[in-house]
Amino acid sequence: MVMRMKPRCTILIITKGNKKFLDRITEYYNPHIKEFNFLIANSGDKYDTTIPQIMFAKDIDPYMKISKILNMIETKYVVVCADDDFIVPNAICKCINFLELNNDYIVCHGLYKRVSHYHNWFVWSKRYNTVSTTDEHQFNRFQQHLNNYMPTLYAVHRTDIMKKAFNEFAKSNVGGWVFGELLTSILDSIYGKIKILPIFYCARYYPLESVNGKELGWHIKHDLCFNNKLVNFKRCLERNMRGSGISRFQLRLKINKNVNNYVTKCINQKKTMKYPLPKIIRIIYRAKNIIYENLKTKSII
C-alpha cells in the first residue's frame, strides 16, 4: 500500500461569492487537488464547489476574514489566492522548496503579470517590483521593503508567520484595504527575509477602467479616518520592532520619517490613467478566455 504524503501547503481562496470566478478557479486547481489542501473563505453567496467553504458575513473586512480563517489552517505553508487570480502551482512548489532550504526566509514568491481587460482586448504586462528583502537587521529590512514596496499577500508564507502578522492586524484597529495590505506586508519584512524568485508566479486581473480607483494614494486621500488609522499603523510597527536594538524614542522617529515619506509619495502619485506602454506589453490576446486557457496549458509560462 502506497502512503500519500500530506500536503505541505494550503491554498486559501478568498471570494465574495462570484460564481463565475469560483467555477473558473476550482477548474484551474482541480488537477492539483492532491498536491495541496484547499479552502475557500466566502463572504458572499454560497455555491456548490468541490472545495470546502467557510462562510462569512458579507460586510466583513477582507483582511479580518483572512485573519479568522488562518487559524483553521494547519499546514506548514499557506498561499492566499483571490478568486479572479491565477497562482501557478509549480511556482508555489518552487517557493516552498526555497523556504525549506533557507530558514531565515519567511516569505517567497516570484514575478507577477497583470492581465488588463478592455472590451475584447487583453494586455499582459509586468506588475510590482522585483527586489528581495534580505538585510540581516530588522529595521533595515523594514526600510528596504518600504522603499521597494511589493505586496506579499499572495506569496507563499510560513503559516505561523502569516498568522502572527494577521493577528497583529486584527488588534491594530487600522481596518480596511489600504492599511490591511500595507501593514501585513511590512510586518512580513520585520519578521524575516522575503525572497522574490525569477519565475513566473501569478497572473493578476486588473480592469483598465478601474486602475485609477485602485491607486493607494487615491484611497489615502479619500479615507476620512486616515489620520487615526495612520497613528495605529505606526504604533503596530513600533510594537513589533522593539527588539531591533534601537531605543524606543529613536525607533518612533525613524518609523515616523519612513512612513510619512512613503505616504507623501503615494499622495503625490498622478491620477492619470496608466495604460501599459508598448515596450512592456508581452502579449495581447483578443479573446476573453484565452488567458485562462493558456494558463491551464502553461503555454505562456
Q: Are 98 and 197 in contact (CB under 8 A)?
A: yes
DSSP notation for 77-141: EEEEEETT-EE-HHHHHHHHHHHHH-TTEEEEEEEEEEEEEETTEEEEEEES----B--SSHHHH
pLDDT of residue 223: 67
Burial of 112 (0-12, 13-18, 19+ CB in 10 A): buried
DSSP letter at 145 equals: H
CA dist 248 → 18, 60, 242, 251 (Å):
46, 35, 7, 5
Each residue of 35-70: pLDDT tens digit?
Answer: 999 999 999 988 888 899 999 999 998 899 999 999
Per the model's pLDDT, the better-predicted residue between 122 and 231 turns out to be 231
Section 57-84 average pLDDT: 94
What integer is the mean pLDDT of 134-138? 94
Q: Where are the domains of the chain?
A: 9-205+279-297
Q: Provide the strand spans (E) within the chain.
A: 9-15, 37-42, 53-55, 77-82, 86-87, 105-118, 121-127, 156-158, 193-207, 281-285
pLDDT exceeds 90 at position 2: no
- Grid coordinates belonging to 193: 527575509
* Higher local confidence (pLDDT), 284 or 292: 292
Q: Over range 206-230, report the average pLDDT.
A: 60
Reply yes or no on whether the pLDDT at 260 is more than 80: yes
Q: 0.75 cut: is pTM over it?
A: yes
Under 8 Å between Cβ of 208 and 275? yes
Q: pLDDT band at residue 179, thresholds of 50, 70 and 90? A: confident
Q: What is the pLDDT of residue 126?
A: 65
Split at pLDDT 50, 70, 90, the class of 134 is: very high
Is residue 102 pLDDT above 90, yes or no?
Answer: yes
CA atoms in the 13 A half-sphere facing the CB of 153: 22
Task: Give the model confidence (pLDDT) of 16-37 as tens digits.
Answer: 988 889 999 999 999 999 999 9
CATH of 9-205+279-297, one of 3.40.50.2300, 3.40.250.10, 1.10.150.120, 3.90.550.10: 3.90.550.10
Comparing 112-121, 198-207, 260-269, which segment has the lowest mean pLDDT? 112-121
β-strands 193-207, 86-87 pairing: antiparallel
Confidence of residue 154 (pLDDT cuts 50, 70, 90): very high
Per-residue pLDDT at 123: 59
Q: Does 213 or 129 have the greater pLDDT score? A: 129
Q: What is the pLDDT of residue 265?
A: 78
Reduced to 3 states (helix: H, G, I; strand: E, B; else coil), residue 24 is helix
